Structure 1
Amino acid sequence: MNNEKPLGKKILDLVGGEKNIQGISHCATRLRMLLKDDQIANKNKAEIEDLNGVISVVENGGQFQVIIGPAVADVYDQLLAGTQLNQETDQNDDHEKNQHGLISGFLDVVAGIFTPLLPLLAGSGVLRGVVLLLNQIGWLPESSGTYHILTAASTAVFYFLPVLLAITSAEKFKVNKYVAAAVMGALIMPEFTQIMGNHGNGVITHFFGIPIVTMSYTSTVIPAILSIWCLSYVERYLKRYIPESLQLLFVPLLSLFIMVPLTAGAFGPFGVYLGEWISNGINILMNSNGWIAGAIVGGAWNLFVIFGLQWAVNPVMIQNISKLGYDFIVPLTAAANFGMAGATLAHFSEPRTLK
C-alpha cells in the first residue's frame, strides 16, 4: 500500500500549513497562495521546486505561486481536502485586495472566471475545426444531419457563453450561480430577442415606462461579468434585510426582477459596446501595422504569462472568435510559444562534451 502524501498535502506542509494560508486559488497552471508569513515558504522554496510534479515557484503581486501545469486542479483539490481553506470570508477578500492592489485583483478575477471554461473552449474549437475541415474536403456536406448536429455541438459554447460566464462569475463573486445563469439566460431567450425583430441591436423597448436599448447577447463576454458582479451586491443587500425564513423565495424573486431589466438597460449595452470597442481597437492595430503589432504581442507574450497578464487579453480573443469567427491575437501568441519550443529544441540538440 502506498502511504505517500499527495502532492497537494506536501505543498501545504512546506508553505506552513493551513494556518499560514490567508487565501488560495488556482489558474490554468499554477496554485496562487496569499501567505501570512512568506518567510516559511521562502525557506522551503527549493524543496517545493524539487517535488515531483512541481515545475517552478514564483512570487508575484504578493502571491506565492507554485507552477504545476495542467494537473493543477487535482493538486488544488488535494491541498484543500480536510481543510477550511475553501470557505473564504469577506475579510480574506478585503485583505487580499489590499495586498494585491487593483491590477492584481483584476487579473485574479479574470483568471477565476475564464479558467474553468478553457477546456470547453479548447475542445469546442478543435471540434469546430474538424467539422469545417471535413466539410471543405467534401466528406461532410452541409445538407447532412451529421453536419448540423456536430456544428451545434461545437458552437454551443459560444452561443451560451453569457450563461457559462454567469456561472463562473457567480462562483468567483460568491453569489447564487443558478440565479446568475437565469439572469443571463433571460437575455438570450426568444421572447427577449424577438423584441428586436429584424432590425438588430438598438431597438428601443420600455420597462414600466423606462426606455431600454435591446441588444443581442449571444456570444458576448463583458455583460455577464458586469451583471453578476452587480448581482453579488444586490444579493448580499437582500439577504441583509429579508428575514432568513423568507429568503428562499424572495431573494431569487427580487434578484431576477431587479437584475434582468438592469442588465438589459445598463450593463448589457455598455458591456456589448465596450467589448466591441476593445476588440475593434486591437484589430485596427493589427490591420494598420501587423509587423509592429506582431512583434509587440509575440515578443511580450511570455512575459505576460509569467506575471499573469495574459488573462487581461484572453477575453478580447474570445470576443473576436465569438463575434467575427476568427482572431488576430492567437497566432501571435502561438508564434511566441513556437519560439520557446525552438529554443528548447536547439538547447537539447546542442552537442555536449562529457566531463
Structure 2
Amino acid sequence: MSNSAQQIVDAVGGPDNIASLTHCATRLRFQLNDASVVDAKKVDSIDGVMGSVPQAGERYQVIIGGAVQSVYNEINALPAMANAGANSGGAKGGQSAEDIKAAARAQGPRGKFSWLDNFFEFLSDSFRPILGALLGASLFITFMALMGTLGVIGNWADPRTDLPASWQFVNFMWQSVFVFLPLMVAYNATKKLGADPWVGFAVMALVMLPGFSAMAEHPDAYQASIAGTDVTLVDIFGIPLTIFGYGSQVFPPLLMAAVLGPLYKGLKKIIPANLQLIFVPFLSMLIMLPLTAFLIGPIGVFAGAGLANVLQSVNDFSPFIFAIIIPLAYPFMVPLGLHWPINAIMLLNIQTLGFDYIQGPMGAWNFACFGATAGVLFLAVKDKEVQMRQTATGALAAGLLGGISEPSLYGIHLRFKRIYPLMLVGCLVGGLVQGFGGGQVHTNAFVFTSLLTIPAFDRIGLYALSIGGAFLVAMLLVIIFDYRTPEQRAEAKAAKAAADGQDVAGDASMPGGVAGAAPAGVAAADTAGTGSTRAAGAAGSANAADPKDAVNDDEQAKASQWLAALGGPENVTQTDAVAETRLRVEVKDSAKVDQEALKSAGLPGAVQVSSNLWHLVAGSDANQYAAAMAAKVGGQPVG
C-alpha cells in the first residue's frame, strides 16, 4: 500500500500542500493549504481508495475503509512528509502548529453554517476513535445473546441474574467498554477541543468512582423530585449533590468537554508560559471537578433522558409509525453526524429500561444501504468497472460483517445521487415489515446492525425478514434502474468495450495466438509480443512536449483517419485520454461524425455520451492517439 500512500499525497497537491492530516474510522481527513489543486479523478483512481469527499474550508477527505490506519501511518512514514504538517497537530515546513492554525483562521470562516459543521465534527470525533472497541464489544454481546436464546444461560443482560462465574467473566468482556464509555468519550471530546485529554478523563472519572455512587447509601442522603424524576441527593458543604450512576452515559462527558475546552485555552492565555504545566491543569480541575459533579453531570443526564422520552413517546403512540420514521430518517442523519446523539439515547435506554427499541428499525436502514451497495457491485462486475467493483466489495464487507455504513455512504451513495431514492424505498419496505409485524423489535445491548448481530434481537424472525426485505428491494432497484446517469452509463459501456478489446489482445499474444486477431488500433508489437517501433520512452507520454516524438507512423495515420471521420480537425474542440483506454472527444457538431467511417478506420468502439461529447475506445495506446490528434487539431490533450 506504500505506493498508494505516495500517490495519495501527490494527488492532493504534494506534501507542501498538506497542513495537517488525521483520520476517522474509514477516511483520511486532510486540511490543505489549497484544495483547488487536488486532482479528484486521480485520487479516485488510486488502488485502495474508495472515493473522496471535498469539504469547505480547504478540507478534503479520502475514503479508504478499514485499512485507513495503515494508510495513515504509511503516509506519515513517507520521507517527503518529514517536514510537512501531516502529523496531527504537526508543523509544516518549519511553521509551528499555532502558525498553521493562524493561517487557517486568516482564510475566513468555513461556511455560512460553519458552527453547525464544527458541532457535527465534534460529535463524530468524540466517538469515531472508539468504534473498534464498540464493534468488538457488540460481537461479545451477540455471543451472549445467542447463548441466552439457546438456553445455555439465563438473562445475561439483567444484572440481577445470577450467572455462573465463568459466564459472568464473559459478560464483563463487553461491559468493560460500555460501563467506562464516558471516560473514552471524555478523552476524545476534550482532545478534539484542544484541551489536555487526560484532564478531561480525570474530571469525568470523579463521578464514576465507586465511592461516588456509594454516597447514595450515606446516612445523610435523602430523596427529592427534580423535573418529575425522583433522585438521591446529599449535601456537600450545604450544596445539594445529585447522585447518579454515570456508567454508559455520553451526554455528560460531551457537555463537560464543551466547557473544559474554552476554559483550558483561556487559562493558557492568562498564565505565564513557565507556569502553565502546573497551574493550567490544576486550575482546570479545580473548576471542572465540582462543576461537573454538581451541575454539568446532572444536566447531561436530564438532557439525555429528555431526548429519550421524546422518542419513547413516539414509539408508545405508534410503534408502526416509529418503525417507518427511523429507517427513513437515518440516511439523512448519518452523513450529518446526527446519529451520534441517537446512539447515546440507545445506550441510555439500555441503562434505564433494560432494552432498546431504536436499533431494530435502524437495522432496516443499514441493510437497505448495504443492499444498494450490493446492487452497485453487481453492475460493476457486469460492466467490468474494476475501481467501482473494489470500492463496492470493501464497502459491502464492512457493512454486512461490521454494520458500518460509512464506506458505502461516502464511497458510493453520496457520489451517485440516483442511489438515494432507490435506497429509501428499501428503508420504507424494511420499516413497513416491522410496522405490520407490530414493531417493538428490542435488543438488550448496544450492537452494530450486521449479519453477525442478528441473534442480539428478541424477535429474530421479524427482524431478519425486515432487514432481508430492505436489502433485496434496494439491491434490485439499483440493478434495474442503475445508479448512473446516461452519461455515466455510456462511460461504463466504453470501459467494458475497452476491456473486451484488451482481452482479445491478450489472447493474441498467447503461444499459438494470431496477432492479426487483435482489434485494429492496437500496435502490432503489443499483439504479437515482438519489439515495438515506438520511440524510446514514448508509452504513456501523451503530455510530451512534441507529440510526434511519442507516437509511431501507424498511430499518426489512424489519428488522421479518426479526425476525418469526426468531421475534420476543424470540428474537434478538445481531445483527452481517459481511463487509459479511451479518448474523450468534444466536437462542435455531432451530425458530422461518421461512426461507420470510424469503425472502418480501425476504431474498436465509439459511444456518444452527450450532444457534443464522444468516447472513443482506442485500446491501451489511448495516450498516443490523444497526443497525435491534439497535435493535428492544434492543441494539447488534457488527459
1:128-143 map, 5 Å: 128-140=141-153, 142-143=162-163
* Deviation, structure 1 residue 184: 0.9
Aligned residue number for residue 157 of structure 1: 177
**C-alpha distance in 2, partners of 1:287/1:92?**
52
Aligned residues: 350
**C-alpha distance in 2, partners of 1:27/1:272?**
27
Aligned residue number for residue 195 of structure 2: 175
The reply to whether residue 18 of structure 1 matches residue 9 of structure 2 is: no
Cα deviation code 1:274-328 (max 9, x no counterpart): 1111122123223323343333332343344445544454333343344444333
The reply to whether residue 55 of structure 1 matches residue 66 of structure 2 is: no
The reply to whether residue 232 of structure 1 matches residue 245 of structure 2 is: no
Contact 1:167–1:181 (CA under 8 A) maintained in structure 2: yes
Aligned residue number for residue 222 of structure 1: 251
Q: Specify the SS of the correspondent of 1:65.
A: strand
Cα deviation code 1:211-237 (max 9, x no counterpart): 333332222111111112322233333
Cα deviation code 1:145-202 (max 9, x no counterpart): 1111111221122211111111112221222222222111111112221222286863
Change (3 A) 1:304 1:51: farther
Change (3 A) 1:348 1:181: closer
**C-alpha distance in 2, partners of 1:194/1:346?**
54
**C-alpha distance in 1, partners of 2:316/2:76?**
47
Cα deviation code 1:116-169 (max 9, x no counterpart): 111111211220221233244343464421111111221122211111111112
Q: Which has the higher helix share?
A: 1
The one of 65, 72, 79 equivalent to 1:76 is 72
Contact 1:128–1:155 (CA under 8 A) maintained in structure 2: no
Contact 1:158–1:219 (CA under 8 A) maintained in structure 2: yes
Q: Which amino acid aligns with 1:98?
A: P
Q: Specify the SS of the correspondent of 2:109.
A: helix
Change (3 A) 1:266 1:74: same
* Deviation, structure 1 residue 20: 2.6
TM-score, normalised on structure 2? 0.49
Cα deviation code 1:69-89 (max 9, x no counterpart): 122232233334433232254
Q: Specify the SS of the correspondent of 1:327.
A: coil
The reply to whether residue 282 of structure 1 matches residue 311 of structure 2 is: yes
**C-alpha distance in 1, partners of 2:312/2:107?**
35
Structure 2 portions without partners, runs of 5+: 90-96, 155-161, 224-229, 384-495, 498-639
Give 1 or 2 for the bigger CA radius of gyration: 2
Aligned residue number for residue 64 of structure 1: 60
Contact 2:120–2:336 (CA under 8 A) maintained in structure 1: no
Contact 2:18–2:85 (CA under 8 A) maintained in structure 1: no
Change (3 A) 1:112 1:243: same
* Deviation, structure 1 residue 115: 0.3
Q: Flag as ranges the 4+ runs of structure 1 deviating above 6 A.
A: 198-201, 347-355
Contact 1:57–1:67 (CA under 8 A) maintained in structure 2: yes
**C-alpha distance in 2, partners of 1:207/1:27?**
42
**C-alpha distance in 1, partners of 2:347/2:131?**
11
Aligned residue number for residue 29 of structure 2: 32
Q: Which amino acid aligns with 1:149?
A: F
Contact 2:222–2:233 (CA under 8 A) maintained in structure 1: no
* Deviation, structure 1 residue 243: 4.3
Of 224-233 and 341-350, deviating more is: 341-350
**C-alpha distance in 2, partners of 1:301/1:68?**
22
Cα deviation code 1:31-88 (max 9, x no counterpart): 23343323211xx111110111111122344542222112223223333443323225
Of 231-240 and 178-187, deviating more is: 231-240
Point out which structure has higher relative CO (alpha carbons under 8 A, 6+ apart). Answer: 1
Contact 2:22–2:30 (CA under 8 A) maintained in structure 1: yes
**C-alpha distance in 2, partners of 1:352/1:137?**
42
Aligned residue number for residue 509 of structure 2: none
1:292-311 map, 5 Å: 292-311=321-340
Calculate percent identity across the aligned residue pairs.
30
Q: Specify the SS of the correspondent of 2:30.
A: strand
**C-alpha distance in 2, partners of 1:129/1:67?**
29
Change (3 A) 1:130 1:349: same
Of 224-233 and 319-328, deviating more is: 319-328
